Structure formats: structure tokens, C-alpha cells
Amino acid sequence: MFTLPHHSPRDLPFAADHTALLLVDMQRAWLEPQFDPHLNGPDAEYFLTRAHMQVVPNQRRLLSAFRGARQNVLHTLIESLTADGRDRSLDHKLSDMHLPKGSLQARIIDDLTPVENEIVLPKTSSGVFNSTNIDYVLRNLETRHLIIAGIVTDQCVDMAVRDAADRGYLVTLVEDACATYTEQRHHACLNAIKGYCWIADTQTVLRRLQEMQP
């Protein structure tokens, strides 16, 4: 198990107007069984229970706090730029992963629907920094602290954490606002990426947001 919040030199006070929340792939395709056959198998119960009973409610709390504090919120989702998916990465083509532009399954779930002026970045790779202009956008927003939550922990979330750290952002991973398909995978990922981010829980992040310095 992982003790939270973990000790890290990245555990620094958030700065007002330099702190942003990034929610990763919180879309219907990965959270509603009618769109993903893997969510109908016997091993799906852990993921669906954690996602809907813990991850989504915690992300709603984070969204509410960031909106209330007038800090930037970004959403990323897997969605092709075209209906036929010809713009997808080779990996997504080989994996037969295609969410057509504007499709129902590509939409962010209703509980986390972006509001006006929140940034939505469609991607066709695991790493949001690889197939979107998020780095350019974050720098234009003068972001220093990037708070990350989403699914799945050891795939797209992991890549967002590592890539953001490599580009000079102070990354916070909100552990109880993330999920992957087994508890073992989740904790293995936390141990693997703890050198790239400060790992905290939702309540700690909310408190830190309240203490945010101008």
C-alpha cells in the first residue's frame, strides 16, 4: 500500500493563477459497459466500483473547488479528429482503438461535463503531451502546478505525469481520483512514478487549494 500524501520535494504550495487541474479520459467509452466489452467481464467489478464510487465523486469535488477558486481546468479525451480515424496514431490503429469525432462514446461523462471556458483536448495517443498542444496551452496559461487525475492510472495518467514532469511542471497526482483495472496495478504505478510527482489524496489537494498563495 501507498502512504499518502507521500514525501516529495515537489510538495510545494500551490500558486494562484499558476495552478491547473487536468482530468484524463473521463469519457463514456471507458466508464459505461455498453461501450467497452472489457467492462462486462468478471474482473471489471473492482474498476467500475472504484471509478463510480470514489474517482468520479472526488473529481466532482476537485472540479467544484477549482471552479470556485477560478483556476484553470483542462480535460483530455481519446477522440479521432476524423470520422474514419485515419488521423489516429499507429498504436491506436494496431490496437483497434477508434472513437469517432463527435461520437457518443467519446463524450465526457455527464457528471464531469466541462463548462464554458474549460479546455477540452482530444488526443489519439496515450500521452496527451504527444498528440495535443497541451504544453503550448499550459505555458500560455502560465501554469506551474499541474494537478492530474483520471483513468487509467498506469496508462494515460502515467504518461501525463511523466511527460509533464519532463517539461518542467510541478505535478501533483490525486491518487483517490484515479483508477486502473486492479489494485495491484494501481499501487505498482504509484511506486513507479513517485519520483515524477507529489502523490496526494483529494482532501489534501482541496486543503492546499484553500491555502493557495497569490
Angstrom distances, CA of residue 42 to CA of 45, 47, 161, 185: 7, 11, 30, 17
pLDDT for res 54: 98
pLDDT for res 39: 77
* CA 118 – CA 115 distance, rounded (Å): 6
* CA 41 – CA 150 distance, rounded (Å): 21
Say how many CA atoms lie within 13 Å of 66 toward its Cβ: 30
* CA 24 – CA 148 distance, rounded (Å): 7
Q: Model-level pTM?
A: 0.95
The string of pLDDT tens digits covering residues 56-102 is 999 999 999 999 999 999 999 999 999 999 999 899 999 888 999 99
pLDDT for res 4: 81
> Which stretches of the chain score pLDDT less than 50?
none
125 secondary structure, DSSP code: S
* CA 95 – CA 204 distance, rounded (Å): 37
List alpha helices for 43-148, DSSP H: 44-50, 56-68, 90-94, 128-131, 134-140
